[in-house]
């Protein structure tokens, strides 16, 4: 009598692990900015088709949707992002990005400093694994490859382009994000995971002039400092965090800039409070510009907006049991991260529960070499570099851990 061993869908063999790492390195070396992810989207679509999925492209821009059917059963959706950041890479990795492009009239480097290449490689590797172990599970896998996530526009664009009608209704949406916690650790909670945020762009117009004769012109830098000081007070009173992320203006040491542009972000737990403070900061900027006799009104616009991200308690507990059952090092998130993501909009638009977790990507050697290892909110030692830093470099094995996390979480439904 002979027996057939059913392949284990949640364990990568050596060949699959190497393939996942190769895919990650290829993605890492070829990043594309938000809204420009043409090559990355094409790679993702081709990979999904090769695995046997039904694929739709250009969903809400460069978004890609894949549906892998394997008989009757639950529907599980996986989400991964396509876009990179305008950050010049300084990791020194042999597969580092050397890409540059023009953004806002300036030359910028482009890199996967947020780790979306890990997320994408893991999602595609998970699809490959499930496609070759179809006897071990049943149901439907929906893969959402989202463009334009860094701007907060990608999820809404996919939904506006009829995403919900293109896919079977998911029973759960799974998503993850790498962070600089120890390699392979998982951190998440049963409710709030990420904060709300609003990004504002402020442009102030002056008259220019010689710096030795400041009374002869409107000093836009001084006006901007007044705006930022008052905005900081407004935000602090409301319990909102204000961060200035960009300031541009001027071209020489002896000339007052006639235009200054700044970008700032407001972050907090309550989306409604953020909306109010954003409106107040906008009105404040216009008032200060008028009081300072700027020749033109201040220009203020919202360039990004993110709602908070909350896990469904029942679905999160189900994933937690699966992680613990597989002996994955799992830690509780004791407070929401101040970072933002638009994945909550996807879950809301699809009408399904969301489970989102953080996955540690820090090289163990970096942790051991760190002069100090401050404890994070979950009690784990953390070390720089962090996401969005030019030297942020997830350990190559992160993609294997990320793939396994998706497979284990999906396996809580696809059995």
pLDDT in tens, 13-68: 889 999 999 999 999 999 999 999 999 999 999 999 999 999 999 999 999 999 99
Give the pLDDT of residue 384.
63
Give the pLDDT of residue 5.
40
Nearest to 116 by CA among 147, 139, 84, 69: 84
How far, CA to CA in Å, does 336 sit from each of 82, 94, 288, 308, 342?
24, 35, 34, 9, 15
Nearest to 174 by CA among 283, 50, 76: 76
Task: Print burial letters for 285-314: b (CB count within 10 Å at least 16), e (below 16).
Answer: bbebbeebebeeebbbeeebbbbbbbbbee
For the chain, the distance separating the N- and C-terminal CA atoms, rounded to the nearest angstrom, is 27
Give the global pTM: 0.91
Question: What is the rounded average pLDDT of the residues 292-312?
Answer: 96
Question: What is the rounded average pLDDT of the residues 221-247?
Answer: 96
**Token match 């319990």: residue?**
239
The mean-pLDDT minimum among 7-16, 88-97, 113-122, 188-197 falls in 7-16
Dihedral sign for Cα 209, 212, 217, 220, please.
positive
Band (pLDDT 50/70/90 cuts) for residue 10 is: confident
Going along the chain from its start, the domains and CATH numbers come out as 14-194+308-411 (3.40.630.10), 196-306 (3.30.70.360)
Q: Put residue 254 in one of left, alpha, beta given phi > 0 → left and psi -120 to 50 → alpha.
A: alpha
**DSSP per position, 10-57:** T---HHHHHHHHHHHHHHHTS--BTT--HHHHHHHHHHHHHTT-EEEE
Encode 78-100 in three state secondary structure: EEEECCEECCCCCCCCCCCCCCE
Give the pLDDT of residue 231.
97
Query: How, if at all, do strands 330-332 and 186-188 pair?
Result: parallel
Q: Does 78 score more than 70 pLDDT?
A: yes
Query: How, if at all, do strands 196-205 and 299-306 pair?
Result: antiparallel
According to DSSP H, which parts of 292-397 are helical? 313-325, 343-350, 364-369
What is the average pLDDT score of the chain?
93
């Amino acid at each position: 009598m002979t027996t057939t061993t059913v392949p284990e869908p949640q364990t990568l063999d050596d060949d699959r692990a190497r393939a996942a790492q190769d895919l990650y390195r290829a993605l890492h070396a070829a990043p594309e900015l938000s809204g420009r992810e043409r090559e990355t989207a094409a790679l993702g679509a081709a990979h999904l088709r090769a695995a046997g999925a039904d694929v739709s492209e250009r969903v809400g821009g460069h978004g890609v949707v894949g549906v892998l059917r394997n008989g009757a059963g639950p529907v599980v959706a996986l989400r991964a992002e396509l876009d990179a950041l305008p950050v010049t890479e300084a990791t020194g990795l042999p597969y580092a990005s050397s890409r540059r492009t023009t953004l806002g009239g300036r030359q910028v480097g482009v890199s996967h400093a947020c780790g979306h290449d890990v997320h994408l490689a893991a999602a595609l590797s998970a699809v490959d694994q499930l496609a070759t172990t179809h006897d071990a599970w049943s149901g439907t896998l929906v893969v959402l490859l989202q463009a334009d996530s860094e701007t907060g526009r990608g999820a809404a664009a996919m939904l506006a382009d009829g995403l919900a009608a293109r896919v079977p209704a998911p029973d759960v949406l799974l998503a993850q994000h790498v962070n600089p916690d120890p390699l392979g650790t998982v951190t998440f909670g049963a409710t709030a995971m990420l904060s709300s945020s609003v990004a504002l762009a402020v442009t102030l117009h002056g008259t220019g002039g010689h710096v030795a004769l400041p009374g002869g012109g409107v000093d836009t830098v001084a006006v901007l400092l007044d705006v930022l000081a008052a905005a900081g007070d407004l935000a602090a009173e409301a319990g909102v965090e204000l961060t200035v992320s960009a300031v541009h203006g001027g071209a020489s040491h002896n000339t007052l800039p006639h235009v200054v542009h700044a970008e700032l972000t407001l972050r907090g737990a309550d989306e409604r409070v953020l909306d109010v403070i954003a409106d107040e900061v906008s009105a404040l900027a216009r008032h200060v510009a008028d009081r300072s006799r700027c020749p033109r009104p201040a220009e203020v616009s919202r360039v990004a907006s993110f709602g908070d991200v909350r896990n469904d308690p029942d679905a999160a507990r189900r994933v937690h049991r699966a992680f613990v059952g597989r002996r994955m090092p799992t830690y509780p998130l004791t407070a929401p991260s101040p970072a933002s993501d638009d994945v909550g909009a996807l879950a809301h638009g699809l009408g399904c529960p969301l489970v989102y977790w953080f996955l540690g990507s820090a090289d163990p050697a970096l942790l051991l070499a760190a002069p100090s290892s401050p404890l994070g909110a979950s009690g784990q030692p953390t070390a720089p570099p962090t996401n969005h830093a030019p030297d942020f470099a997830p350990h190559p094995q992160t993609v294997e851990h990320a793939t396994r996390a998706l497979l284990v979480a999906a396996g809580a439904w696809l059995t």
